[in-house]
Amino acid sequence: MIKRGLQALALVAHSALALGAGSLACTAAPGAGKYPAWRADAAQALARRADARSLATAAALCFVASRPRGRAEPAAGKAAVDLAARASELDPESPSIGWLRLQLCASSAGCDIREAATTLRWVDADNGAVWLPTLAAVQKDNDPAETDRILSDMAEGSRFDFYWNPTVVLLFDGLKHAGNDLPPQYLPSDLARLSEAMLVAGNEIIPPLSAVTNACREPASAERRDSCIKLARIMQRADTVAAQVTGLHIEKHLTLADGKEARTLAERRRVLEWRETSANLDDGLPWRRSAMARERIAEMRATPREEDVDIAFLRKHRLPLDPPEEKP
């Protein structure tokens, strides 16, 4: 009983430290303007709510509010990582929160990714994407043997997910449920909340894929080439269009596809990109845009992949799923 009491006190103390760090350090970058300041204020309000969803949303907002040139200010970066770590402790089985924590750490100077990366590999061992920050780190160390090992591990996964839909839903819900505590002009509608959730998530949870493309550009061994081709085919079923397109590019490059196979890969890419563009067209009518935002968030709750949302949206609006045939 005493041991449990001490653990509880430690947990409360850690929560207070994380919350204090967020409150003190989460400020907009100097001269950034009104909107980043609203984001920073929203992050502090969400941090005070202290549930996992609110803390994760606070972490994401705190980080993006303070990064004028692609990296967060050191104090704000630490505050965001601490808030994400606390959210992950409160909901340790959430891969989307674990991924957010890992990506914020990987984007913060001086943050050691090893604990976050190891934790996420336990939570979602089948997701090859969780190795990406580690792959990027060993490439900086110019360690070919370790690069080969990690690529092999990534190719053993069954999925390649950035948790795009779940993360956007998490941020949208966090912002909506805390609406009364946020700056009144910050997010006045569901359209504004969804736009903010997608913008913030797009800046924070979609990592550069250059670590994979660089490792697979000129494989020095048959083993690495085989791992890269296997990984590329897994990526083609990923939960984001960006990862799918990269997988198609890697396979086409490595298999030196020509004739029918090359045309198949090129056509698959053309269809993916066309669907993404068509499903995100803006017809300019405010009431229509708000209704479409609610439709999109509902689809994101129901389906795991970005492409699934695009297909559902196009079908609902009776729009074609495939682009016009290319003229010879």
CB 166 within 8 A of CB 237: no
pLDDT of the residue at 197: 96
Query: Lowest-pLDDT range, 7-11, 76-80, 310-314?
Result: 7-11
pLDDT of the residue at 292: 86
pLDDT of the residue at 328: 63
* Domain range list for the chain: 2-124+161-204
C-alpha 166/C-alpha 302 separation (Å) is 10
pLDDT of the residue at 251: 93
pLDDT tens per residue across span 127-148: 999 999 999 999 888 899 999 9
Query: Is the pLDDT confidence value at 291 over 70?
Result: yes
- CA neighbor of 99 nearest in space, from 148, 150, 60, 67: 60
Nearest-10 crossing angle of helices 114-123, 95-106: 160
- The rounded mean pLDDT for the chain is 87
Query: Is the pLDDT confidence value at 16 over 70?
Result: no
What residue spans of the chain are helical by DSSP H? 2-25, 34-49, 52-65, 74-90, 95-106, 114-123, 132-140, 144-155, 164-177, 190-204, 210-217, 222-235, 241-255, 259-278, 286-302, 306-316
CB 248 within 8 A of CB 239: no
CB 77 within 8 A of CB 109: yes
Query: Is the pLDDT confidence value at 3 over 60?
Result: no
